Amino acid sequence: MTFPAAVVQAAFGDLPISNVAPLSGGMSGASIWSCEADGRTWVVREASGRWPNELACVARAAALGIAPALRHVDQTTHVIVMEHVAGAMFGRHPDVPRETSLARLGLLLRRLHDGAPFPNGDSQIDSFQRIDRVVREAGGQPLPDAIRATIERFVPVVARFPSAPCHKDVNPNNVIETAERSYLIDWETAAQGDPYFDLALFGVFGATSVEARGKLLTSYLGRAPSDAESARLLVTRVLALAHYAAAFAFVSTLQRRPAASETMSLDEVLAFMRTQRQLPLPEIVAAALLAEMTMLAESEAVADAARLLA
C-alpha cells in the first residue's frame, strides 16, 4: 500500500505534512509510516484484516494510556494516525534500569487486564489450525503435531481462569520505553483472552530467566505470587512456546525458507539476539522453540504445576 496521503491530510487539515518514511511492520507485515505535522512526529498504520477489533482494542488501550494516543481514525481505509513515542524498545533505554523496565511492564499489563473487555478473538487451538491451514495451502510443511498436542493438553489446565483484555503479542519489540513511562504498540492480535498468556509470551524473548519472570509476575500482582500463581505462569509458558513455535514456522513457510540446516537451543537463540540485535533465521528459531516447548512440557516441574492447578 502507498502512503495514504489524503487520509493523513484529513487528520491535520491545512497543516503541512513532511518527512514521510516507511517503518517496519515486524512479523505482522503491517503497512506503517512515520510523518511530521503540527510540530510533532506521528505514526500512520493501515490496520489489519481484523478491523474493527483492532481499532476497538487500540482505542481502549490509548484511553488508558497503555498505547500511544490516537489522532485520527479513518473507518473507510482502516488507517490510524497515532502519536509517535520517542523512546527505545524494552531493555534498551539508557536511563531505564532493567528492573525498572520489568516493574513498569508488570504494572502496565495489570492496568490493561483490569480494563474494559475487548472483543473476543480466536482461541489458541483455532489460531493453530488457521496457521496450519495457511501453511499447507502455501505448500509448506504442516506444523508439527507436537504443537497441536501440547496446546490440546495444556489449554484445559488453565481454561478455568477468568479472561481479560489482552495484547496477545507482548514481546520486547512491542514495548516502547521513555525515561518516564512505557507503552505497548502493535495491537493487531489483541482480544479477550488469558491474562497470564500475555505474561508468558513476554517471558519467551523478554524475561528470559526464571528470576526475571518471577519479578515480572510479582510486579503484576503487586505482591509475591502464590504457589498456584507461579504454577499457572509455568504451565502458560508451555503454551507461549507453542504459540511462537507455530508463528516462526509460519514465517519460514511464507518466506519459502528451506528446512533448518543447523540447530540452536533457545538459550543460544537468545544469546544471538543479545549480541547481534536480531533473530536468527525463522526456521532455526522455530526449531529452538519447539525443542524448548517439548522439554518443558515433559518436565516434572510442569507436571507438578498442572496437578496443583487441577
Per-residue pLDDT of the chain (310 residues; tens, 9 = 90+): 689 999 999 999 999 999 999 987 555 557 899 999 999 999 999 887 778 899 999 999 999 999 999 999 999 999 999 999 999 999 999 999 999 999 999 999 999 999 999 999 989 999 999 999 988 888 888 899 999 999 999 999 999 999 999 999 999 999 999 999 999 999 999 999 999 999 999 999 999 999 999 999 999 999 999 999 999 999 999 999 999 999 999 999 888 888 777 899 999 999 999 999 899 999 999 999 999 999 999 999 999 999 999 9
Q: Are residues 142 and 47 in the same domain?
A: no
Kindly report the pTM of this predicted structure.
Answer: 0.93
Q: Are residues 127 and 246 in the same domain?
A: yes
Taking a C-beta distance cutoff of 8 angstroms, is the pair 163, 196 a contact? Answer: no
Taking a C-beta distance cutoff of 8 angstroms, is the pair 240, 201 a contact? Answer: yes
Q: Are residues 196 and 285 in the same domain?
A: yes
Instruction: Specify the 3-state DSSP secondary structure of 248.
Output: helix
Q: Which of 58, 84, 110 is at the close of a domain? A: 84
CA 275, CA 104: separation in Å to the nearest integer? 25
Q: Are residues 16 and 115 in the same domain?
A: no
Say what the pLDDT of residue 41 is. 97
Q: Are residues 99 and 160 in the same domain?
A: yes
Q: Which of 56, 84, 112 is at the close of a domain? A: 84
Q: Which residues contact 256 (CB under 8 A, 6 or more apart)?
A: none
Specify the CATH number for the domain of residue 251.
3.90.1200.10
- Burial level of 269, CB count in 10 A (0-12/13-18/19+)? buried
Give all strands (DSSP E) within 77-236, no chain letters.
79-83, 88-89, 164-166, 175-177, 182-184, 191-193
Q: How many domains does the chain have?
A: 2
CA 310, CA 304: separation in Å to the nearest integer? 10
Domain range for 195: 89-309
Say what the pLDDT of residue 114 is. 98
- If one counts every other C-beta atom within 10 angstroms of the C-beta of residue 178, the result is 14
CA 286, CA 246: separation in Å to the nearest integer? 7
For residue 308 the three cell numbers come to 496443583
Taking a C-beta distance cutoff of 8 angstroms, is the pair 204, 243 a contact? Answer: no
Q: Are residues 179 and 252 in the same domain?
A: yes
Say what the pLDDT of residue 259 is. 77
Q: Are residues 216 and 286 in the same domain?
A: yes
Q: Are residues 64 and 125 in the same domain?
A: no
Specify the CATH number for the domain of residue 15.
3.30.200.20
Q: Are residues 239 and 173 in the same domain?
A: yes
Q: Are residues 40 and 188 in the same domain?
A: no
Residues 270, 278, 139, 242, Cα dihedral to 10°: 30
Q: Which of 53, 84, 115 is at the close of a domain? A: 84
Q: How far is CA 309 from CA 92, 197, 233, 286, in A?
A: 36, 16, 11, 29
Q: Are residues 58 and 113 in the same domain?
A: no
CA 56, CA 40: separation in Å to the nearest integer? 25
Beta bridge partners of 182: 177
Q: Are residues 66 and 137 in the same domain?
A: no
